[in-house]
Structure 1
Amino acid sequence: MSLSTTERAANFCQACAIRNRAICSELDDKEIGVLNQLGRRRVLVPGEQLLWEGDEAVLVANVIDGVLKLSTQTVDGKEQILGLVYPSDFLGRPFGQTTPYGVEALTEANVCVFERRDFDRFAREHPRLEHKLLERTLAELDRTRRWMLLLGRMNAEQKLATFLLEMASRLGETGWKEGNGATGRIIDLPLSRQQIADVLGLTIETVSRQLTKLKKDGLIDLPSRREIAILQPAELEHRAG
């Protein structure tokens, strides 16, 4: 017997790797099927823009896999990276009129994209989804406050240690691999050292010196320019303060 469109959508979402962590996790199969019909899957290549700062907020999206950056333009035209977005994170401004930041893929990324008006209407009709949106908004506010502390009060070593631990935690098992001569688990960095410096408010020279120091102290290994093996996470947490 053939499956209906709603049933196929629900089955597709049940197999999603971030199903239990995404904003739609509180919905039942029927609701998931309806929501899925409102959206579409989109694959982004590194460097591809999903949202533009200041544009009308026409889209919202849920990240399935990959890493994206949030950024804004300063008055002198330079880019300032505001943060990173990981699998299960939600993008866009529901119930808003304009997009407050640009969103660009750092790695290949899969996202579920929805027209904002359709998503807003669905959310109003499903209080559990609205509640999840509120939870995510408050969690994002907490992360922003921690980020302000990181940028304003921590020294360079604390900033870099905190950044590496946060990235390792957010990427989880899907962001790690074994091998390449390192004795620990290795995380693929979606950012260059210059981008890390921009995120942390440091110079690229400072980032390189701190990475070298952490390697010399045996806390990390550097199999390549875009890979870091965290060998002593407990000590790295101590360095992060």
Structure 2
Amino acid sequence: MDMARSLPAANFCQACTVRNRAICADLDDEEINLLNAIGRRKTLQPGEQLLWEGEEAVLVANVIDGVLKLSTSTGDGKEQILGVVYQSDFLGRPFGQTTPYGVEALTEAQVCVFQRSDFDRFAREHPRLEHKLLERTLSELDRTRRWMLLLGRMNAEQKLASFLIETADRLAPAGPSGADGSVSRVELPLSRQQIADVLGLTIETVSRQFTRMRKDGIIAIAGRRDITILDRVALQERAG
């Protein structure tokens, strides 16, 4: 681990912007101090890898800021993006021997990293954290089931609309919102090709859907990744 860019987590928790939503949310101050002793804050640059698929599960981490992607390699060596993680999401496989997916930063990101063995021991000794892990696991299972529905049953328009809604909900708005909350600006973490790969579509189909939504006044497009949702109700209707 790069010690110049990995700092002790102590003193960070009190000012942590995601503490109330993170895996450690239910811990008391004494438990937080104990967790601090085994954690470190690390900064990742775009394109930097945190975890490698199939390797020994050495680390687990909590996302403090930024966006990262989860990916796997297909039989022909191509990358398949499994999902995107945001602030307060948990990464890695506690109590596991190998890492099931690769993790790469899409933007500059900050994470709190823990040696998996230290984290496993702490979780066993502190049932509230172990309970939170179970809650997160079940929530992730629910998200996976919804994603399977999205990929298997929805048409291209529904898929892209659902993706935009989820992304807008997970990312803090980058601009002002209307009085009814219907207008929000989103800097997409994925390129159009990556969005197409995630949704099981071609890039041409994704581009056509973006163009159609723009012409219909549902979104505005200021750049390849700069999207403003102008009519959230209409977007939700497109999502089905």
TM tier relative to shorter chain: over 0.9
Amino acid of the structure 2 residue aligned with 1:172: A
Alignment match, 1:91: 91
* 3-state SS of paired residue (1:177): coil
The alpha carbon displacement at 1:172 in A equals 2.9
Aligned partner of 1:177 among 175, 178, 181: 175
Note the alpha carbon deviations across 1:132-174, whole angstroms, 9 max, x for none. Answer: 000000000000000000111100000000000001111134x
Alignment match, 2:135: 135
Paired residues of 2:168 and 2:184 also in contact (CA < 8 A): no
Amino acid of the structure 1 residue aligned with 2:159: K
**Superposed, which structure 2 residues align to 1:1-241 within 5 Å?**
9=10, 11-173=11-173, 176-178=174-176, 184-241=183-240
Alpha-carbon distance between aligned partners in 1 of 2:164 and 2:33, rounded to the nearest angstrom? 37
Paired residues of 2:220 and 2:230 also in contact (CA < 8 A): yes
Amino acid of the structure 1 residue aligned with 2:31: E
Note the alpha carbon deviations across 1:21-48, whole angstroms, 9 max, x for none. Answer: 0000000111111101101010000000
The alpha carbon displacement at 1:185 in A equals 2.4
Alpha-carbon distance between aligned partners in 1 of 2:76 and 2:18, rounded to the nearest angstrom? 39
The alpha carbon displacement at 1:178 in A equals 4.6
Note the residue ranges of structure 1 that are not aligned, 5 or more in a row.
1-7
Amino acid of the structure 2 residue aligned with 1:177: G
Paired residues of 2:21 and 2:88 also in contact (CA < 8 A): yes
Paired residues of 2:183 and 2:232 also in contact (CA < 8 A): no
Give the count of matched residue pairs. 228
Identity of aligned residues (%): 76
* 3-state SS of paired residue (2:63): strand
Alpha-carbon distance between aligned partners in 2 of 1:67 and 1:196, rounded to the nearest angstrom? 14
* 3-state SS of paired residue (1:224): coil
Alignment match, 1:3: none
Alpha-carbon distance between aligned partners in 2 of 1:119 and 1:149, rounded to the nearest angstrom? 33
Computed over aligned residues only, the root mean square deviation of the Cα atoms, in angstroms, reads 1.4
* 3-state SS of paired residue (1:61): strand
Alpha-carbon distance between aligned partners in 1 of 2:175 and 2:122, rounded to the nearest angstrom? 39
Alpha-carbon distance between aligned partners in 2 of 1:147 and 1:36, rounded to the nearest angstrom? 34
The alpha carbon displacement at 1:15 in A equals 1.0
Note the alpha carbon deviations across 1:86-135, whole angstroms, 9 max, x for none. Answer: 10000000000000000000000000000000000000000000000000
Query: TM-score w.r.t. structure 1 length?
Result: 0.92
Paired residues of 2:59 and 2:114 also in contact (CA < 8 A): yes
Paired residues of 2:218 and 2:234 also in contact (CA < 8 A): yes
- Name the structure with the higher helix share: 1
Query: TM-score w.r.t. structure 2 length?
Result: 0.92
Alpha-carbon distance between aligned partners in 1 of 2:221 and 2:88, rounded to the nearest angstrom? 28
Alpha-carbon distance between aligned partners in 2 of 1:45 and 1:116, rounded to the nearest angstrom? 22
The alpha carbon displacement at 1:177 in A equals 2.2
